[in-house]
Structure 1
Amino acid sequence: MNLPVSPWVARFAPLATAGEALDLACGSGRHTRYLAARGLQVTALDRNAEFLAALAGPKVATLQHDLEAEGAVWPFEAGRFSLIVVTNYLHRPLFAQLAASLRPDGILVYETFAQGNQIYGKPSNPNFLLAPGELLGLAREGGLQVLAYEDGHVDRPHPAQVQRLCAAGPAFAKTEAKLDHNVVANEP
């Protein structure tokens, strides 16, 4: 099933300045294609080589890497990405590396399943479901500014319980030129 671009990603990805983006656990590449079409150079990372084969192109570099394998090493240097997108994927040990790999003025857009999703089906394993406020805590631990956060139910593309976060590096300026009043949500 080809999913559409996440409305959360479409809403916040434009905050990133020109530069390199990372689509972590990119799957079939819906966000990789979207970001490349917006003019960003994109690194698409996934453990599945079949997914990656269809994505390589002038604006897209692919990297097959299993971040959860025993002894796996984070493959990116600090401060590399102007935008990091993560959807429908959770591996908690990576969050510090995600924050570190973000440029000081970069944007992190994260959206994945939360506790309560088990009533809708998979994922239902607590290891893959965020606890209430967990993304907020991870952003703060990473030294990021929270620009927007949601924890609740969605109906599309299918019913689910999700948490969504848009956070920025410490040098991101929350100015009228970059961010309008309708984008920033107050933290709970």
Structure 2
Amino acid sequence: MDAGTPSGWVTRWAHLIAPGASVLDVASGSGRHARWLAARGHAVLAVDRDADALASMSALPDIATLCADLEGAPWPLAGGRTFGAVVVTRYLHRPLFTHLIHALAPGGALIYETFAAGNQTVGKPSNPAFLLEPGELLEAVRGRLRVIAYEDGFVDAPHPAFVQRICAVLVPEPAKAGAIEDTTGNTPSGWPRYELTG
């Protein structure tokens, strides 16, 4: 996966993002996911501490940028702003888990992928502070989001790495009880359907 190619995990689960919904791209870097999502009709807020990386997106339509220190400063999106999806790849700062979940609008998807324990045997990062423990993403969302997909293992490509990834949604309140009011008349009321792919 080069710097411009979106993660296969993100592309696999992006269909769960409602058409036209806003997306928060956390630790976006130069915006491989922000660019890909904006090209698909989503308004994206790309957040990173690297002002130069963000500047490369400043003239792009449907992408707003926010230069912020996600680790040494307060959460930059205080005030209850929510998004149809939150995307995080190749980044881990555990104190953000609660903020990421609170940034989801009802029905919103958390699409998260980063390095996991074991990666120290094949390359960087190798510091345990930057490696998820087994099941850690599951525990982070337990009781708060509905898990649609989860993986914890080893990949050979694009380079050898131990990874952990999750796609989970904030189920709207009526759906938690099993009843969804259908205002379109096109589908029966019931449980939301999250199409599994790949």
Q: TM-score, normalised by structure 1?
A: 0.89
Deviation at residue 16 of structure 1 after TM alignment? 0.8
Give 5+ residue unaligned stretches, structure 1.
Answer: 184-188
1:115-126 counterparts in 2 under 5 A? 115-126=117-128
Match of 2:195 in 1: 180
What SS does the aligned partner of 2:30 have? Answer: coil
Match of 2:169 in 1: 168
Q: Distance in 1 between matches of 2:110 and 2:39?
A: 19
Deviation at residue 14 of structure 1 after TM alignment? 1.6
Give 5+ residue unaligned stretches, structure 2.
Answer: 176-190
Equivalent residue letter for 1:47: R
What SS does the aligned partner of 1:109 have? Answer: strand
Query: Is 1:144 aligned to residue 145 of structure 2?
Result: yes
- Give the root-mean-square deviation of aligned CA atoms: 1.7
1:12-91 counterparts in 2 under 5 A? 12-17=13-18, 18-56=20-58, 57-69=60-72, 71-78=73-80, 80-91=82-93
Aligned residues: 179
Q: Is the 8 A contact 2:12 2:197 kept in 1?
A: no
Match of 2:180 in 1: none
Equivalent residue letter for 2:128: P
Q: Distance in 1 between matches of 2:168 and 2:81?
A: 15
Deviation at residue 28 of structure 1 after TM alignment? 1.8
* Cα offsets for 1:128-182 (capped at 9, x unmatched): 00000000000115x1110000000111221100000000002186644xx3354
Is 128-137 or 151-160 further displaced after alignment? Answer: 151-160
Match of 2:188 in 1: none
Equivalent residue letter for 2:165: R
Match of 2:186 in 1: none
Q: Is the 8 A contact 1:114 1:132 kept in 2?
A: yes
Percent of pairs with identical residues: 51
Q: Is the 8 A contact 1:78 1:102 kept in 2?
A: no
Deviation at residue 31 of structure 1 after TM alignment? 0.4
Q: Distance in 2 between matches of 1:30 and 1:63?
A: 16
Q: Is the 8 A contact 2:27 2:91 kept in 1?
A: yes
Q: Is the 8 A contact 2:86 2:111 kept in 1?
A: yes
Deviation at residue 2 of structure 1 after TM alignment? 2.5
Q: Is the 8 A contact 1:76 1:101 kept in 2?
A: no
* Cα offsets for 1:53-110 (capped at 9, x unmatched): 01122200000001111x4333244351001000000000000011011001100000
Deviation at residue 3 of structure 1 after TM alignment? 4.5
Equivalent residue letter for 2:77: P
Equivalent residue letter for 2:136: E
